[in-house]
Chain A
Amino acid sequence: MPSSGAVTLAHIVGTTPEAPTLEAALGNRKNQQVIKVGKREMQETWERLNVWDDDSVEHVTFGCPHATIDEIGRIASLIQGKTLKTSMLIGVSAAVEALARQQGWATIIEKAGGHFLPACPSIANPFTRADIAGDRQAKSAATNSARSAHYIASVCGVNVFFGTEEECIDAAITGKWKGKMPKWK
């Protein structure tokens, strides 16, 4: 999984293509450093990414870095025929957006009030940036992306809700946040 941060390549064992096993991901070399992530770290991170003082949601964003076709299909099936209370932005690659249009899912999402923006990182989210949206800036945003949550809170200075895809879709339909901290083992 390429990323242009300080760590430019990340493997997730069993998920990313070059990491079927830990040995393959490490290129048969030894670990240089092992960092244990437990319940406490998960809770601290979840709390750090939830920066809000009231439960009203004005914007929901998915796809940071970019939404997959599976995510778009799930979002479409959950909001089909509904009118969203919040604005919604889905960041996609141009290829996945084309596929979503071919499937009819893009139309379902747009009819409900959602928008697609190809090749748009969260940092440039036009709904939450005061320098782009002006008076129409959303004062709160929900997302299932930790990357989006971090940047929207710090760069845009608005309330941020970080939760699951289902919690975000519920917020888009109701305009209220009902997300709960997951129970990590």
Chain B
Amino acid sequence: MEIKAHTVSAGKAEGKAVVYNGPFAFLGDLDPNTGKICMPRHTLEGVNLAHKIFVFTTGKGSSGCDFAAWNAKKNGKSPAAIICLESEPVLSGAVIAAEIPTVDRPDVNVVEIIKTDDYVKVDATSGIIEILDK
């Protein structure tokens, strides 16, 4: 299955999806040393996002997002790519600086269509998401 989306940060990546029906910030939600969700009582607390295709609803800011994203990327613990419904300016700046391929505004609701562990290919440069075996 192929889904069209809007380019936020160019690049290509593929891997298993982790889907979260809520907003995300690199700072405070993600431990940049392990790639795990570190926010206490988060639905995904302890889930590792490293090398995954992370699917969520929107960015939720935090001005430290850019250095947190860059730190995770430098440690090899960032998501391989990001798909979200709407990337606000803080998240967009962070993924561009950290060179994490990212798309938003998909033409279907990806949070409902993509399931955790689906194998997903993201061509963020062309704005194309491909869910394999679907």
Which chain A residues have a beta carbon within 8 Å of chain B's beta carbons? 4-8, 48, 51, 123, 150-151, 153-155, 157
Contacts and interface: CB of A to CB of B under 8 A. Distances in A.
A7 to B, nearest CB: 7
A124 to B, nearest CB: 9
Contact of A48 (B28, B41, B60, B63): B41
A155 B38 contact: yes
B28 A6 contact: no
For chain B, which range describes its interface: under 10, 10 to 19, 20 to 34, or 35 or more residues?
Answer: 20 to 34
Contact of A123 (B27, B39, B61): B27
Nearest to A150: B28
Contacts of A123: 27-28, 64
B28 A4 contact: no
B92 to A, nearest CB: 11
B88 interface: yes
A4 B25 CA distance: 13
B44 interface: no
A5 B60 contact: yes
Contact of A6 (B29, B38, B40, B90): B90
A2 B23 CA distance: 21
Given A6-B59, A6-B60, A155 B41 contact: no
